[in-house]
Structure 1
Amino acid sequence: MIKDRQLYKLILSILTVIVVAMIGLQLVSSWTQPQAQSQLNLYESDLLLQASTWQETNDAEPGTSPLLENLWGDSDPVQQALKNYQKIKTSATLQSGPTDDPEKRAASEAFVNELDLRLGLLYARSGQVEDAIATWTPLAEAAPSPGNQRAVTAAILQGLWSDPPQLKPQAQQQLESQLKGWFRYQSLSQLYQLQQRQETLTTLRSQEHAAAEKALTRLAAVQVFPAIGGLTGVGILIFWLIQFAVKKRQSLPEAASTAPTIEPIEAQADQTPNTPQELAATVRWPVTTIWQVMVVWFAAFFCVSFVLPVVLYVAGAKPETFGARGQAYLALIQYSLLMGVGFSILYLSLKPFLSQPLKWLPLRWQGSWFSWGLSGYLAALPLVIVISVLNQKLLQNQGGGNPLLEIILNSHDRFSMGLLLFMVAVLAPLFEEILFRGFFLTSLTRYLPMWSAIGLSGLVFAIAHLNLSDILPLTVLGCMLGFVYTRSQNLLASMLLHGLWNSGSFIGLIILGSSVS
């Protein structure tokens, strides 16, 4: 028996080393990738530029809309976007560097070239025509082949702002197909003015005004509403602090016992807990069981992430060639497999200690779980936003991002978006809250003080996303999820918070992705 136990611990230790090494490799690898926030900043800049033209195309006198001024502050939107694009181009150029991967090199060059096209238009719009032409010239001369669409577009733009102007053939069709949003309207406006097509220019202004109105609505959705929610969250945080100070006690009481040798009451084992003390008392398994569940699940995560692409490769399928709907199906299948494996590991690990492991989870429709979940979401907004800004400055836009980001931003297929929304807003909160809060945090409360258990579970939750840029923000979010769960004693509260957070982020990405059409 002793030898079997020693062998069990040895195998678990070896598996732990492998899992920690895999996590470390993933985190180090993510350092070479740009943060998702950089791309989101570009989309938001484009949205801001488009919205700023509402005043120009409206009959109202300049300065008569305080709401618009509040949206972009005191700075000129064009200058604000110009600084943002310059900063991101510098970062992208440094990140590209020398590489032996031709696909990575080509993608990096294409991104920088796209930035140059837009930067030139921003220079031209701000009156820096010489800088605009200097930005377009290398791109226009890089490849004489007409098949290089960015080179063709750069040559057209260079001709439009040259002195004297040089109008290229098929200029209108090229600008309409290669440029989007504010950049397309600016280039076409210059073209129509040079061609003296006043009627067409008037129609373009009308279209630009309609686009600006839509952009204003989207800008309010991605800036104003989160700001209102964040201010409300600050009020909730202050209320909680005052409430706890008045009561002169810690916000979360310690578990009834932190000693692992004390056995909980048998009658409480399969009952839904009502207090933090009862929550800790339901934990009947040793530390090695906690260790086993988390390490085996991480190992299963890496196995599924490796095996599924191999199976597709053997079947002759190439995931990189899938369209938006195929990518959505693949993401849903992979996450469903992870859920099935995770629930199986959890059930089999707890079965020796609980007659009904599923009933042990604190899930109940009664109580104040809805108000805890909603208030927790609002309170998390200002905390995570502040940490995200600091994190972006600290990591200098490095650290990787969610692989689903590109699909969400660039896809306009509603069915695909519905599948992904179901995955992030329903499946992810269900599984991750059961694993990280329902099992992991609850188990830790028996062996650690409550706040330590919340902090550790939040950190592991963040690490599980395998991106350096996510660790600080998601640790804060994980701690808020843990706080809401332990206060409400109900997983429905943290599931609601988690679902609201993922849904809000998802909808924000869809709005930003639709802003560049």
Structure 2
Amino acid sequence: MSSTSCLAPPPLRLPCRRVRLPPPSAAVGATVAAERPSLRFKPRGAAPTKGWRLVHISCFRQEQDVSTSDDGINFEYNEQAEISEDSDLKEEDGGSPNRDDQNYVNGYWFDRAQKMKENLQETIFRFWNGRWAVPWTGQTIAQVMFLWIATFWLVGSWIVPFLAHAAGFSKETLTHRGQALYSLVTDITEGLAGIAILHQCLGRFRPLPPGWFEFKLKGKWHWDVVLGCLLFPLVNLLSHINISLVHMSSGPVAGVSGVEQSIVARDPVAMALYAVVVTVCAPIWEEIVFRGFLLPSLTRYMPLPWSILLSAAAFALAHFNVQRVLPLIFLGVVMGGVFARSRNLLASIVLHSLWNGFVFLDLMK
């Protein structure tokens, strides 16, 4: 081959387009020039709607075969597709929408009921098997509770009265404000003693596993507290039932006589001091001991619901008041449930404080 010879470039291949042909009426009389290459249409894919078939225009001479005719643009009307579409529309129109809608509604509510059932079962299972990682044994649990009860009794019955006597006064001779201050000092001392016992007995297990003695502001524990507050009337009803069962005398209720006396006297300072005692001090250290330590520790040996019930019974007995055993057990169960659900001591402390405030306001009526 000489250097002057060259190869002809391949013929230009234009991109093919898909076109939609007009209806038969518009195509009548259409002609195509003789010099144009004849176009052959091939069916491509599924037939479109309204009976027309999408065709492929051959744009290249190489794709033409010898049998191409010069009759112009050819088209084909797909009557079968239109008939099939009309039959489908008739079937849809002739159906029973009411029955289909009813079946859909029934299926929807059935699915919702199934999901609710599964969620409830999962919640109960998780609640029943909810446990803390307890690094100590029952011996440590008994040791802490025994030391706490002994310290509680010694501080309230011996240590604080002895210090008051050494200072030259006794509780019986104090005014309403003096008795309120005396109760505040006693409660703070008992709380600090209980925290010191926990610190000393659990010191060898540090660092504690996650979930112990947690105070968290974040989370949805506020709603648990609200639900717990809705049960306050039931706790109050149990209190009246308990009092009627033990045939309580007409005297003042033990443990709140000083509060009642200050309310009767309308001493604002004494009432404020008692409010701090019952709504701040007592809820903090009681929840740390019973919900923060005892309840999680019991999950080492029993399921969570039994741990809540047993810790609630210990909480009621620690108040040394037979007239309030039933309401305190129920209240302990409610606060234990709130704590177990939120794993947050702040939730049970707030609920405890609100209950004591509810009782305090009820006494002021």
**What is the aligned partner in structure 1 of residue 25 from structure 2?**
none
The 1:473–1:318 alpha-carbon spacing in structure 2 relative to 1, beyond 3 Å, is same
**What is the aligned partner in structure 2 of residue 377 from structure 1?**
229
Residue 418, structure 1, aligned to residue 272, structure 2: yes
**Deviation of residue 354 (structure 1)?**
1.6
Q: Deviations over 1:97-149 (max 9, x none)?
A: xxxxxxxxxxxxxxxxxxxxxxxxxxxxxxxxxxxxxxxxxxxxxxxxxxxxx
Which SS does the other structure have where 1:360 is aligned?
A: coil
**Deviation of residue 443 (structure 1)?**
0.7
Contact 2:212 2:292 in 1 (8 A): no
**Deviation of residue 351 (structure 1)?**
0.9
Q: Which amino acid aligns with 1:332?
A: L
Which SS does the other structure have where 1:447 is aligned?
A: coil
Q: Which amino acid aligns with 2:194?
A: G
Q: Distance in 2 between matches of 1:439 and 1:409?
A: 35
Residue 287, structure 1, aligned to residue 141, structure 2: no
Pairs within 5 Å for 1:93-108: none
Contact 1:370 1:496 in 2 (8 A): no
* Larger Cα-atom Rg: 2
Q: Distance in 2 between matches of 1:495 and 1:246?
A: 29
Contact 2:221 2:347 in 1 (8 A): yes
The 1:448–1:357 alpha-carbon spacing in structure 2 relative to 1, beyond 3 Å, is closer
Which SS does the other structure have where 2:217 is aligned?
A: coil
**What is the aligned partner in structure 2 of residue 301 from structure 1?**
152
Contact 2:259 2:274 in 1 (8 A): no
Q: Distance in 1 between matches of 2:327 and 2:118?
A: 27
**What is the aligned partner in structure 1 of residue 42 from structure 2?**
none
**What is the aligned partner in structure 2 of residue 248 from structure 1?**
121
Contact 1:376 1:481 in 2 (8 A): yes
**Deviation of residue 473 (structure 1)?**
0.8
Equivalent position to 1:401, from 254, 259, 270: 254
Pairs within 5 Å for 1:49-448: 247-248=120-121, 251=124, 253=126, 256=129, 276-277=130-131, 280-281=132-133, 283-305=134-156, 306-355=158-207, 360-379=212-231, 381-398=232-249, 400-403=253-256, 404-448=258-302
Q: Distance in 2 between matches of 1:420 and 1:465?
A: 17
The 1:487–1:459 alpha-carbon spacing in structure 2 relative to 1, beyond 3 Å, is same
List gaps (5 residues or longer) in structure 1.
Answer: 1-242, 257-275, 513-517
**Deviation of residue 389 (structure 1)?**
2.4
393-402 or 490-499, which moves further after superposition?
393-402
Q: Distance in 2 between matches of 1:303 and 1:500?
A: 28
Contact 1:327 1:407 in 2 (8 A): no
Equivalent position to 2:318, from 443, 464, 473: 464
Which SS does the other structure have where 2:324 is aligned?
A: helix
Q: Which amino acid aligns with 1:402?
A: G
**What is the aligned partner in structure 2 of residue 495 from structure 1?**
349
Q: Distance in 2 between matches of 1:439 and 1:479?
A: 15
Contact 1:374 1:496 in 2 (8 A): no
Q: Which amino acid aligns with 1:442?
A: P
**Deviation of residue 452 (structure 1)?**
0.9
For the aligned residue pairs, the C-alpha RMSD in angstroms reads 2.4
| Structure showing greater relative contact order (alpha-carbon pairs closer than 8 Å, 6 or more residues apart) | 1
Q: Which amino acid aligns with 2:136?
A: W
Q: Distance in 1 between matches of 2:316 and 2:294?
A: 13
Q: Distance in 2 between matches of 1:245 and 1:405?
A: 49
Identity of aligned residues (%): 37
**Deviation of residue 254 (structure 1)?**
5.4
**Deviation of residue 245 (structure 1)?**
9.3
When normalised by structure 1's length, the TM-score is: 0.45
Q: Distance in 2 between matches of 1:367 and 1:452?
A: 26
Q: Deviations over 1:419-462 (max 9, x none)?
A: 21112111111111111101110111121111111111001111
**Deviation of residue 356 (structure 1)?**
5.9
The number of equivalent residue pairs is 246
**Deviation of residue 244 (structure 1)?**
8.0
Q: Distance in 1 between matches of 2:320 and 2:205?
A: 31
List gaps (5 residues or longer) in structure 2.
Answer: 1-115
When normalised by structure 2's length, the TM-score is: 0.63
Q: Distance in 1 between matches of 2:315 and 2:341?
A: 19
Return the structure number with greater helix share: 1
